[in-house]
Amino acid sequence: MKKWIIKHRRGISTAAWIIALFVVWEFVAFLLADVFHDSMAENKLPYVHDVAVRLVDNFGTIIVQAKITLVRALYGYMWGAILGVVLAILMRLSKIVEKTAMPYLVMSQMIPILGLAPIIFCLVKDLNTARTVIAAYITFFPISVNMLNGLKSVDEQKLMMMKSYASNKWQLYIKLMIPASLPYLFVGLRLAAPMAVTASILVDTLSAKDGIGYIIVYSLAGGGTVGQFWPAVVTSAVMGVLSYYVVALIERIVIPWQKNKEV
Amino acid sequence: MAEKIKWKVLSVVLPLGLCVIFVALLQAQVIQNLFHLKLIQLPLPSQVLLELLENVDKIASDAVITMRCVIPGMLIGAVLGIALAAFATVLPNVGYGSLTLMTALNSVPVLALAPLMNRWFSSDDVAKAAVVTIVCMGGMSVNAFKGFNTLPAFSLDMMKSYASTKGQIFMKLRFPNSISYLFVALKTNVATGMIAAIISEFYSKKTAGLGYMIKNSLKVGNHKVRGWAYILVTAVISIVIYGLICMLEKKAVKGGRTNKK
């Protein structure tokens, strides 16, 4: 029993904090509603159990919308990943490309792209393209930088060995460089996953007819079922966290030898 | 040596060259024609610049309105994030979960936070700063925790063998060790904070600020150029703050011990 506790202490700590959060939340909601009699209490912070009940009530709708948002996020995420990896390899192959592209890579992160969602929409005129562009735009940076980092930290001796076998560039990359940088790539992929979800949710709010972001905005404006706001917010948070852990799970499957090592 | 200088020059010349080519292509309407965009969608650089110069006072005042929420928000977020990471480091069994919770909180989309904060705080500025604080706190706490705990091999054992207290270990080992990690977080928080502020302004009651003007200018048909001018200013402000943080970083890690690989 004691061993079990020590082994899972991080998990237990997390669970305890989640419970604590809900307790505090419930208590603050109680203060707002029944002690201060704040007329806006319902809007500021409703009871947790109310939210839970509404989540169950609206579960069908929310799951359907969440799925729509997730699938769209995945599409942009894939493009971002492909672009990021290709760019990293190009930068590793040619120093000229690296020197030219790197400042732009950094700068691209300084442009508040999510805030520019309306303009991207105005440029491409199609919501789904806009979503893909934005999701790809914010995901490719961490992926690209981490991949490049990985390609650069391949063991020098292994490189020498491949060269002494007279392997060509193609073999070098396929057999050594890319497999060796997979752990780094996954660091980037993990970081980027929640970002893609956020981007997708944001684009939902622009003028889409569906998706979880649409529920959030629509219920805020009061046009829809107000009761869906809080469940939708909670769901969107869960989606972000979940996406991270799904990628982490895929990582375990794809590169099991890295299980206990952190890059 | 000559090789080194050559690359140093190239690393300035190449990106600049690309920038010049890109602006020239925009000005010559090559890019617009290529993607079948009308000038109203993607205006000429000269138009944007002219618009910027004509409205410089208005844009500056909007920038001040936004930045006076972003900067305090970023600072408070950084302090809270470091405090949380310190807590999780000193009491790992209790504190670790709070970090996980923080990452979860971090994935709550900004656009859900923004209207919520507007309800909590009657002041528009405070609401905006609160959103910025929340998003910056998450990134900072995760990075700071990494910095406090990714220590050089055996350094912790050495400190322990010297019978140092937890406080001493923290001040003399963990904190100095975390400096470069803190700066990484500060740098990423520039973009996160700006995005948070801009999106909050989409929802705020006030009719000023960079975010409001971007959204509003793009909506109104003949003011699209103004929207682009605001976007340009926003990007420049972010890059300047980023540059300042980089300078600070150089000062802070001067004399050598960076923890980069």
| Chain A partners within 8 Å of B205 (Cβ) | none
Instruction: Report whether pLDDT(B74) > 90.
Output: yes
**Chain B contact for A122 (CB, 8 A cutoff):** yes
CA dihedral of residues A153, B153, A189, A179 (deg, nearest 10): 40
Beta carbons of A17 and B98 less than 8 Å apart: yes
Closest CB to A115: pick one of B104, B190, B211. B211
pLDDT exceeds cutoff 90 at B73? yes
Q: What is the pLDDT of residue B79?
A: 95
A42, pLDDT greater than 70: no
Please report residues of A whose CB lies closer than 8 A to that of B42.
Answer: 123
Chain centre distance of CA A257: 24
Residue B257 pLDDT > 70: no
More confident of the two residues B218 and A194: A194
pLDDT number for residue A82: 93
Cβ contact A91:A97 at 8 Å:
yes
Please give the residue that has the higher pLDDT: either B160 or A228. B160
Q: What would the 3-class secondary structure string for chain A be? A: CHHHHHHCHHHHHHHHHHHHHHHHHHHHHHHHHHHCCCCCHHHHCCCHHHHHHHHHHCHHHHHHHHHHHHHHHHHHHHHHHHHHHHHHHHHHHCHHHHHHHHHHHHHHHHCCHHHHHHHHHHHHCCHHHHHHHHHHHHHHHHHHHHHHHHHHCCCHHHHHHHHHCCCCHHHHHHHHHHHHHHHHHHHHHHHHHHHHHHHHHHHHHHHCCCCHHHHHHHHHCCCCCHHHHHHHHHHHHHHHHHHHHHHHHHHHHHCHHHCCCCC
Q: What is the pLDDT of residues B109-122, one digit of tens each?
A: 677 777 778 778 87
Better-scored residue on pLDDT, B106 or B97 = B97
A213: contact with B, CB 8 A cutoff: yes
In Å, how far from its chain's centre is CA A80?
A: 12
A96 vs B14: CB contact, 8 Å cut-off? Answer: yes
pLDDT band at B78 (very low <50, low <70, confident <90, very high): very high
Prediction ipTM score: 0.71
Grade residue B261 by pLDDT with cuts at 50, 70 and 90.
Answer: very low
Check residue A199 and give its pLDDT. 83
Cβ-count burial of B172 within 10 angstroms (0-12 exposed, 13-18 middle, 19+ buried)? Answer: middle
The verdict on a CB contact (< 8 Å) between A236 and B231 is: no
Tokens 């408070």, residue located = B76
Stretch A31-55: mean pLDDT, rounded? 74
On the question of pLDDT at B259 being above 60, the answer is no
What is the per-residue pLDDT across A79-131, written as a single tens digit (0 to 9) for each?
999 999 999 999 888 888 888 888 888 777 777 676 667 777 777 777 778 88
Instruction: Tally the C-alpha atoms within 13 A of residue A126's C-alpha that lie toward its C-beta.
Output: 4
Asked if A14 and B111 come within 8 Å (Cβ–Cβ), the reply is no
* pLDDT given at position B153: 80
Average pLDDT, chain B: 82
Closest listed residue to residue A50, CA positions, set A66, A62, A72, A33: A33
Residues A164-185 have pLDDT tens digits of 888 888 888 888 888 888 888 8
Range of weakest confidence among A148-157, A218-227, B62-71, B78-87: A218-227
Q: Which of A15, A100, A197 sits opposite B15 (nearest CB)?
A: A100
Q: How far is B96 from chain A, CA to nearest CA, in Å?
A: 6
How sure is the predictor about B82, in pLDDT bands with cuts at 50, 70 and 90? very high
| Model pLDDT, residue A259 | 55
In this predicted structure, the answer to whether residue A263 has a pLDDT above a threshold of 50 is no
Q: What does the alpha-carbon distance between residue A80 and residue A146 come to, in Å, rounded to a whole number? A: 13
pTM: 0.79
Give chain A positions within 8 Å (CB) of B18: 100, 104
Top residue of A119, A197, A206 to mutate, by most chain B CBs within 10 Å, is: A119
Å between B231 CA and nearest CA of chain A: 8
For chain A, what is the mean pLDDT? 80
B206: pLDDT strictly greater than 80: no
Who's near B239: CB < 8 A, 6+ residues apart?
A107, A110
CB contact under 8 A, A114 and B18: no
Half-sphere exposure of B222 (CA within 13 A, CB side): 0
In a mutagenesis test of the A interface, which of B21, B36, B111 is the best target, namely the one with the most A β-carbons within 10 Å? B111
Query: What is the spatial distance between Cα B85 and Cα A66, in angstroms, rounded to a whole number?
Result: 32
Task: Provide the pLDDT for residue A201.
Answer: 83
Is the pLDDT score of B251 beyond 60?
yes
Mean local confidence (pLDDT), A211-221? 77
Which residues 56-75 of A are in CB contact (within 8 Å) with B? none
At A225, the pLDDT band (50, 70, 90 cuts) reads low
Does residue A17 belong to the interface with chain B, where contact is any CB pair within 8 Å? yes
The DSSP symbol for B221 reads: G
> Is B239 in contact with A118 (Cβ distance < 8 A)?
no
Per cent of chain B over pLDDT 90 is: 7
Report CB contact under 8 Å: B15, A205.
Answer: no
Does residue B25 belong to the interface with chain A, where contact is any CB pair within 8 Å? Answer: no
Please, which pLDDT band fits residue B220 given cuts at 50, 70 and 90? Answer: low
Asked if A236 has any chain B CB less than 8 Å from its own CB, the reply is yes
Amino acid at B53: L
pLDDT, residue A191, reads 81
Contacts of B16 (CB under 8 A, 6+ apart): none
